[in-house]
Structure 1
């Protein structure tokens, strides 16, 4: 009865979905990478990697942090998303299997309530899977409109 009010059939909205994914995924990676770098070095992250017995924790901390910041910028801009997504997927897989897998699926675990509000436990791997799914979606669909990739394709005469 009301389907016609909410229908998007016969409209070309799918061009916008990669743009929306790029905004949140790119911003998310930038924020997470910047949090690791914001004190000048990713020393705190390096300590976590050391506790997890990740090889070469100093180098790994820098590589992961820079991958997240610059990869996030690439995703946000829509620049070679199919290439940029691969190392970001790898960082999510490493985080999933080294840290988050031990805490189950849910990304939000309420473990208590204080007068100041809820207390949350460590996050599970739900967010890792959501980032991976979004990145795979971008690999399959491309960057969409409002992207550097679309601009370059248009300049080369490859756009429809």
Structure 2
């Protein structure tokens, strides 16, 4: 006879348990980093099926973002560099804010007219919204324990304002 499961017999760690929450920002940063590094690499280097600076620049120019190549480099650097910085937890709050703005602009320039749902061939803006929320979460919480920001903050003078910005 199989054992009976009840809510009382299944134990989950409490979400307020600090041991459970320690890794949460690092997991969030890893997810954002993978997405943004990949998209930045498409724009800057033409990797992973991307258009590189020329193709992305032409696309941006067709959207009315002139000069297209400048905006392609800007978006590529924000995404690739921002993704790499978020991955290691370096200047996480301002970097995450830039990534959120990047996705907001993507919604306005390319996805809004396609509606909410992303499974359409034209692509909606639901995934952009999720990325904005993930980035905004890091703006609110900071990089967490396993980050360069925490290491930098720990080395600053106790009570310094800069240290508070990194935690």
Superposed pair shares fold, TM > 0.5: yes
* Residues 9 and 53 (structure 1), Cα distance of their counterparts in 2 relative to 1, 3 Å cut: closer
1:94-146, Cα deviation, whole Å (9 max, x unpaired): 1101101111111212xxxxxxxxxxx02110111111100110011110121
1:4-19 equivalence runs, <5 A? 5-9=11-15, 11-12=17-18, 13-19=20-26
CA contact (8 A) 2:115 2:125 kept: yes
Instruction: Extract unaligned runs of 5+ from structure 1.
Output: 110-120
Q: Which residue of the partner structure matches residue 110 of structure 2?
A: 99
TM-score, reference length from structure 2: 0.81
CA–CA distance in structure 2, aligned partners of residues 104 and 39 of structure 1: 27
Task: Provide the secondary structure at the position in 1 that maps to 2:97.
Answer: helix
* Residues 10 and 18 (structure 1), Cα distance of their counterparts in 2 relative to 1, 3 Å cut: closer
* Residues 9 and 27 (structure 1), Cα distance of their counterparts in 2 relative to 1, 3 Å cut: closer
1:15-70, Cα deviation, whole Å (9 max, x unpaired): 21111100010111000000112239411111111111113211111111111110
Q: Which residue of the partner structure matches residue 130 of structure 1?
A: 130
Q: Which residue of the partner structure matches residue 2 of structure 1?
A: 7
Task: Provide the secondary structure at the position in 1 that maps to 2:31.
Answer: helix
CA–CA distance in structure 2, aligned partners of residues 146 and 10 of structure 1: 18
Task: Provide the secondary structure at the position in 2 that maps to 1:53.
Answer: coil
CA–CA distance in structure 1, aligned partners of residues 33 and 105 of structure 2: 18
Task: Provide the secondary structure at the position in 1 that maps to 2:143.
Answer: coil
- What stretches of structure 1 move > 4 A for 4+ residues in a row? 157-160
CA contact (8 A) 2:15 2:21 kept: no
Q: How big is the alpha-carbon RMSD for the aligned residues of Structure 1 and Structure 2?
A: 2.1
Q: Which residue of the partner structure matches residue 117 of structure 1?
A: none
